[in-house]
Each structure stands twice: as C-alpha cells, then as structure tokens.
C-alpha cells in the first residue's frame, strides 16, 4: 500500500509522534510506502512531498511541531482539491490519505472522502474540542504549560498583592481554561461557553482579601466574553479565515478588575507557548496509538473515518461525526470546577 500523510491547521505537540507511528506501522508492519506532503493540503495540491522511511522519522517522537510543516488553506483551494481528488490520488499513486488535523482539516478530509478519495483522519488540537473522541493529543501538554504558568503566577501575585489574569487558548471551547484552572487552583475561571459575570469576579476577589488572602488568579479562555452590557468590550479582528482574533479579553478583564477593585491587576497572555515544545508522555502515547490505528484502518478499508479515543480504547468513528459539532464544556463539568464565573 502507498500512504500519503499530511499535517494541517494549527500545529500541536504530538504531530511528529503520529507521523512516526504511521511510518513505523506502515513500513515495518506492512511493508508499505509512505510519502509526506509538506505544509498540509498545499503540498498535496502543489506537488510538494517527500518519501518517509524509518530513518526520516528517527528521533522525532519527542519533538514539538511537525517535520512536514502545517498551514491553513483557503476554502477555494480545498474545493479545488475535492474537484481534482481522483487526479490527485492517481498522480501520487496513493491508496489512502491520512490527514492529521483539527476541525478545519477534518472537514476538508470529509470533503475529499465524499468526493471519492480514500481517507483516514487523525484528530488533533490542543483545544480538545473535536467531537467523537474523548481526548485529542496536544491537550495534555497545553494544560500542563498553562497549569505551570498559574502556579508561577500565584507566587508573584502574592508578593505584590495583585490579581493576575492569565489568558489561555480556546476560542470556542474552554477545556484548557477549565482543566488548567482546576489543576492550578485558579480562583476564577472564565469560559467561552458561559458569559462571565464581572460583578461576581469582583466579589470573589474582595472576599479573598477580606479573609486575609491578598492575591487572586483568574484563568480566562481567549474566547470568553462578559455577560452583555456588564463591562466595556469590543469584538476582535476577523482574519482571512473568518476567525475572530486578538480580542484581548485577558487585558480587558485585568483593566476592569483593577478599576473596580482599586488593586493592581496584570494580564498574562500565554498564546502559542501552549502549543510549542515537547509533548507530554500522555500525548506521545495517544498520538502513537492514533497513528498505529490509522494505518490498520487503512488496511481494513475503513475510509471516511477518523481515529478516536473512547474510554481507554481507540475506535474508528465517521469523519461526519467528528465535524458535526464542536465538543464544548458541558454545564456539569463547570459545576465540578466550582470557580467558573
Ligand atoms: O485550534 C488551536 C488553536 O491553538 C486555538 O486555541 C487558537 O485560538 C488558534 O489555534 C490560534 O491559531 P493561530 O496559530 O492561527 O494563531
């Protein structure tokens, strides 16, 4: 079998572990050939690819980023790929394409699959918001980075009697904010799923100070929004892919808390630090299992599906299920965290 693999969308710790696992299972396990397309679907469309053998993936398991490069692709070019999928499959002589990516990539994978290309998807995102899988690799690493940041911010906050507002990634789903906030013991957590109440946040900090605790840490997801009309807030910039960016919610919230509390507040925006660097052991294992199962699914002819963690098992679920909706934080999980505002 000849397998094409690519990584698309935002990068994520664990991508290299998947690539390595695909090559190992395919080459060593099945005597397959693997080629890797560069910079996501662009490589597929523009003919940029290279053969991947065991030596090509040696030493990449622990490396962050992706050796293949990654990029987001405009809708028009994706349509171009779908329209030409028979030619593309024949041109590269591939029996299956394994795209590794988030919601956008899996939507593109589904388009190609519907157009007749044999596709097996592998879900990835630090946001953990892909439907159909209990977890995505990259999430554990991101939560670890954010948790360490909260731990560190607590000591400096206490020294200066400040409120620290740490903004973490998560445009539509607040999983990173929820779990790093819980793990780091943030006093306030704000999620995109529920507009937050600034009055309640202010009250929480005042109560802490009143009982002698002279600092507070608030963990806010980049996509969190204040309840309508409760504090000044402007929308961010809409980028070329239609995503709202640079909303600056962490900074706005810090400014607002400082004004209302009469105490110093500082914003800290973690940004892409959460996506860089080496994956945790958990993410390496999940990524490796996804890669292994993707190759097995290809050999079993299970096209139009993606790997998914269900409980402790890896299962194949339809791409349609993976992209049907985003997996956001349910109310029940917010109550468990106690400090969600
Ligand atoms: O989807 C992963 C993610 O890291 C989001 O949490 C974040 O909003 C977005 O990607 C950032 O994208 P970019 O790398 O294009 O700035």
Strand 49-51 with 120-123, pairing? unpaired
Backbone angles phi, psi at 247, to 5 degrees: -75, -25
Question: By CB neighbour count within 10 A (0-12 exposed, 13-18 middle, 19+ buried), where does 321 fall?
Answer: middle
The top-level CATH class assigned to 142-275 is: alpha beta
Is 283 annotated in the active site?
A: no
Strand 33-37 with 2-7, pairing? parallel
Residue reference for tokens 């994956």: 279
Question: Which residue of 7, 10, 106 sits with most ligand 1 atoms within 8 Å of its CB, as the best mutation to test the pocket?
Answer: 10
pLDDT tens for the chain, 341 residues: list them. Answer: 999 999 999 999 999 999 999 999 999 999 999 999 999 999 999 999 999 999 999 999 999 999 999 998 787 888 888 899 999 999 999 999 999 999 999 999 999 999 999 999 999 999 999 999 999 999 999 999 999 999 999 999 999 999 999 999 999 999 999 999 999 999 999 999 999 999 999 999 999 999 999 999 999 999 999 999 999 888 888 888 788 888 899 999 999 999 999 999 999 999 999 999 999 999 999 999 999 999 999 999 999 999 999 999 999 999 999 999 999 999 999 988 889 99
And the tokens for 59? Answer: 């030493």
Residue ranges per structural domain of the chain: 2-138+279-324, 142-275
Q: State residue 81's pLDDT score.
A: 87
Task: Round to the nearest angstrom and report the end-to-end CA distance of the chain.
Answer: 52
Give the active site residue among 11, 32, 39, 127.
127
Fold adopted by 2-138+279-324 = Rossmann fold (3.40.50)
92 CA distance to ligand 1 centroid (A)?
31
User: Residue 110 contacts by C-beta under 8 Å, 6 or more apart in sequence?
Assistant: 119, 121, 304, 319, 320, 323
196 CA distance to ligand 1 centroid (A)?
22
Q: State residue 36's pLDDT score.
A: 98
Q: What is the pLDDT of residues 202-244, one digit of tens each?
A: 999 999 999 999 999 999 999 999 999 999 888 888 888 788 8
10 CA distance to ligand 1 centroid (A)?
6
Running DSSP on this structure, what letter comes out for residue 37? E
Q: Looking at the CA of residue 169, tell me the nearest atom of ligand 1.
A: 6
- Confidence (pTM): 0.96
Q: State residue 338's pLDDT score.
A: 82
ipTM of the complex model: 0.96
Q: State residue 166's pLDDT score.
A: 98
And the tokens for 206? Answer: 């005042």
Q: State residue 130's pLDDT score.
A: 98
Q: State residue 283's pLDDT score.
A: 98
């Amino acid at each position: 079998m000849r397998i094409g693999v690519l990584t698309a969308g935002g990068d994520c710790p664990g991508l290299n572990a998947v690539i390595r696992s695909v090559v190992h299972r395919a080459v060593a396990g099945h005597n397959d050939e693997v080629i890797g397309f560069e910079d996501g679907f662009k490589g597929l469309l523009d003919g940029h690819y290279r053969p991947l053998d065991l030596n090509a993936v040696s030493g990449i398991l622990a490396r962050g980023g992706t050796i293949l490069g990654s990029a987001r692709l405009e809708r028009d070019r994706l349509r171009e790929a779908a329209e030409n999928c028979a030619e593309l499959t024949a041109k590269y002589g591939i029996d299956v394409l394994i795209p590794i990516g988030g919601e956008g990539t899996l939507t593109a994978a589904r388009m190609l699959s519907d157009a007749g290309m044999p596709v097996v998807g592998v879900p990835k995102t630090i946001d953990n918001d892909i439907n159909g899988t209990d977890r995505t690799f990259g999430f554990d690493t991101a939560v670890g980075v954010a948790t360490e940041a909260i731990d560190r911010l607590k000591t400096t906050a206490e020294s200066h009697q400040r409120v620290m507002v740490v903004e973490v990634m998560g445009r539509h789903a607040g999983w990173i904010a929820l779990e790093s906030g819980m793990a780091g013991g943030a006093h306030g957590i704000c999620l995109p799923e529920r507009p937050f109440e600034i009055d309640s946040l202010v009250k929480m900090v005042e109560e802490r100070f009143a009982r002698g605790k002279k600092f507070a840490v608030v963990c806010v997801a980049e996509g969190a929004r204040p309840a309508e009309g409760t504090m000044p807030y402007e929308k961010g910039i809409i980028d070329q892919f239609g995503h709202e960016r640079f909303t600056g919610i962490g900074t706005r919230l810090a400014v607002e808390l400082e004004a209302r509390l009469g105490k110093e507040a500082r914003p800290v925006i973690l940004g892409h630090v959460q996506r860089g660097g080496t994956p945790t052991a958990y993410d390496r294992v999940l990524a490796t299992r996804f890669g292994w199962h993707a190759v097995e699914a290809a050999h079993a002819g299970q096209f139009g599906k993606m790997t998914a963690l269900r409980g402790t098992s890896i299962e194949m679920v339809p791409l349609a299920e993976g992209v049907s909706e985003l997996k956001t934080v349910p109310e029940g999980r917010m109550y468990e965290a106690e400090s969600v505002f």
